[in-house]
């Protein structure tokens, strides 16, 4: 038992993200770790089925029809929020639904991407609408101190109103695997190649173009024809993929960069295991969970020196300037050539990743619930 039960108190965990997304993984994993410790429900806004369900009891609360052309996700949330059951405390599991009119409420703020790294003017405007409830939260949970600092700077939210609680991973999934035989044939990978892995949605802040430019430099300075860059994950916007493909074509890397699409979690863990390194030089991340996943699987990591990533990486990764493609290529080459460095990063990475668990996240989250309920 990780926490003391809160007597005669009902808590509603409100989630709007599918389990295969980063935010959805947080909500579903946290709920699994914390249920049974208190009276808590998982209320799920399903943007695929346009339903509102209570997953703890498999009860369908409400359903609606999609309105063509105008029913984007925030509008769906807005229309359905009135069907949320009554609870003593609400935990909104991401910042994009901070505008929900429920109280008292704890909000997990993973990031404020729309404010810090807007893709367009519309993106910025949507962020202001979705984040407008952050100031009214009874308490805010952040994934990192970096995000807490962003909230202080952009919204003037005090430190006393925020608690940083790091995310976790499932050690039964993200670990060293001896048997990776299923991966080679499933993804058409050759055993005489060496693979550099990246996973992201391809938004500009993910710096996929920077990775490709660094990979191009690596191919040039190493002269190696056996290096392949694997890109997992689907693009959030089609124009991002078009931009990436145009760059690849201009550098004549069509045969050297492979797109795997959405990869099941179990396959992703094995891809980390066969990769020579994982590169994740984002310009902005609220946390950067793939860094922890890769380290847990014994895959050396190159990541950014900005945003939350140095905080997450500790001393277990190579930290690089995401704008310096030449230096990033040098780091990649060093990892390919220096076995001592690789071994050191593998060891430190496994130890670092072991510090991030959903049980710890659940315990600290339950403590936030208790403090908020005591103050009401």
> How high is the pLDDT of residue 114?
87
Which of 124-133, 198-207, 231-240, 316-325 is least confident? 124-133
Domain contains 6: no
Domain contains 176: no
Per cent of the chain over pLDDT 70 is 97
| Across 103-112, average pLDDT | 97
> How high is the pLDDT of residue 6?
44
The total domain count for the chain is 2
256 with 290, same domain: the answer is yes
324 with 203, same domain: the answer is yes
287 with 300, same domain: the answer is yes
Q: What is the pLDDT of residues 28-49, one digit of tens each?
A: 999 999 998 888 999 999 988 9
Which of 121-125, 302-306, 336-340 is least confident? 121-125
106 with 190, same domain: the answer is no
274 with 161, same domain: the answer is no
Q: Does residue 1 carry a pLDDT above 50?
A: no
338 with 361, same domain: the answer is no
Q: Which range of residues forms the domain containing residue 112?
A: 11-168+357-375
Q: What is the pLDDT of residues 353-371, one digit of tens each?
A: 999 999 999 999 999 999 9
229 with 277, same domain: the answer is yes
Q: Does residue 88 carry a pLDDT above 80?
A: yes
Per cent of the chain over pLDDT 90 is 82
92 with 135, same domain: the answer is yes
Domain contains 1: no
Mean pLDDT of the chain: 93
202 with 243, same domain: the answer is yes
| Across 342-347, average pLDDT | 98
326 with 370, same domain: the answer is no
Q: What is the pLDDT of residues 201-232, one digit of tens each?
A: 999 999 999 999 999 999 999 999 999 999 99
Domain contains 324: yes
> How high is the pLDDT of residue 36?
80
> How high is the pLDDT of residue 344?
98
More confident site: 50 or 167: 167
312 with 188, same domain: the answer is yes
Domain contains 173: no
Domain contains 3: no
Domain contains 156: yes
| Across 98-125, average pLDDT | 90
CATH number at residue 133: 3.40.50.2000
217 with 314, same domain: the answer is yes
SS3 sequence, the chain? CCCCCCCCCCEEEEECCCCCCHHHHHHHHHHHHHCCCCCEEEEEEECCCCEEEECCCCEEEEECCCCCCCCCHHHHHHHHHHHCCCCCEEEECCHHHCCCCCCCEEEEECCCHHHHCCCCHHHHHHHHHHCCCHHHCCEEEECCHHHHHHHHHHHCCCHHHEEECCCCECCCCCCCCCCCHHHHHHCCCCCCCEEEEEECCCCHHHCHHHHHHHHHHHHHHHCCCCEEEEEECCCCCHHHHHHHHHHHHHCCCCCCEEEEECCCHHHHHHHHHHCCEEEECCCCCCCCHHHHHHHHCCCCEEEECCCCHHHHHCCCCEEECCCCHHHHHHHHHHHHHCHHHHHHHHHHHHHHHCCCEHHHHHHHHHHHHHHHHHHC
> How high is the pLDDT of residue 7?
47
Domain contains 208: yes
> How high is the pLDDT of residue 73?
82
CB neighbour list of residue 181: distance below 8 Å, 6 or more residues apart: none
> How high is the pLDDT of residue 8?
57
User: How far is it, in rounded angstroms, from Cα 362 to Cα 357?
Assistant: 9
């Amino acid at each position: 038992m990780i926490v003391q039960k809160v007597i005669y108190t009902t808590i509603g965990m409100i989630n709007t993200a599918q389990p295969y997304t980063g935010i959805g993984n947080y909500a579903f994993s946290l709920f699994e770790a914390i249920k049974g410790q208190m009276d808590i429900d998982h209320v799920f806004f399903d943007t695929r089925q346009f339903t509102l369900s209570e997953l703890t009891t498999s009860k369908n609360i409400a359903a609606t029809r999609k309105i063509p052309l105008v029913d984007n996700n925030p509008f769906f949330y807005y229309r359905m929020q009135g069907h949320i059951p009554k609870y003593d405390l609400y935990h909104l599991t991401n910042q994009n639904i901070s505008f929900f009119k429920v109280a008292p409420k704890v909000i997990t703020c993973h990031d404020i991407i729309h404010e810090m790294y807007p893709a367009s003017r519309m993106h910025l405007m949507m962020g202001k609408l979705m984040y407008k409830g952050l100031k009214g939260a009874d308490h805010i949970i952040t994934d990192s101190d970096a995000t807490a600092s962003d909230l202080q700077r952009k919204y003037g939210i005090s430190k006393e109103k925020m608690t940083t609680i790091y995310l976790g991973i499932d050690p039964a999934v993200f670990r060293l695997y001896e048997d990776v035989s299923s991966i080679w044939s499933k993804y058409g990978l050759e055993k005489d190649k060496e693979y550099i892995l990246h996973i992201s949605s391809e938004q500009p802040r993910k710096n996929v173009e920077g990775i490709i430019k660094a990979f191009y430099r690596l191919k040039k300075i190493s002269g190696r024809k056996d290096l392949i860059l694997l890109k997992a994950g689907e693009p959030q916007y089609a124009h991002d993929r078009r931009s990436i493909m145009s760059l690849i074509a201009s550098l004549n890397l069509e045969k050297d960069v492979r797109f795997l699409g959405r990869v099941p979690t179990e396959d992703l863990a094995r891809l980390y295991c066969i990769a020579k390194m994982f590169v994740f030089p984002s310009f902005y991340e609220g946390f950067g969970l793939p860094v922890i996943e890769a380290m847990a699987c014994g895959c050396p990591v190159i990541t950014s020196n900005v945003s939350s990533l140095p905080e997450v990486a500790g001393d277990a990764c190579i930290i690089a300037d995401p704008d310096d493609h030449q230096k990033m290529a040098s780091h990649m080459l060093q990892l390919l050539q220096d076995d001592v460095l690789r071994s050191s990063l593998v060891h430190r990475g496994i130890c670092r990743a072991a510090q991030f668990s959903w049980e710890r996240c659940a315990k600290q989250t339950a403590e936030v619930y208790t403090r908020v309920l005591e103050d009401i």
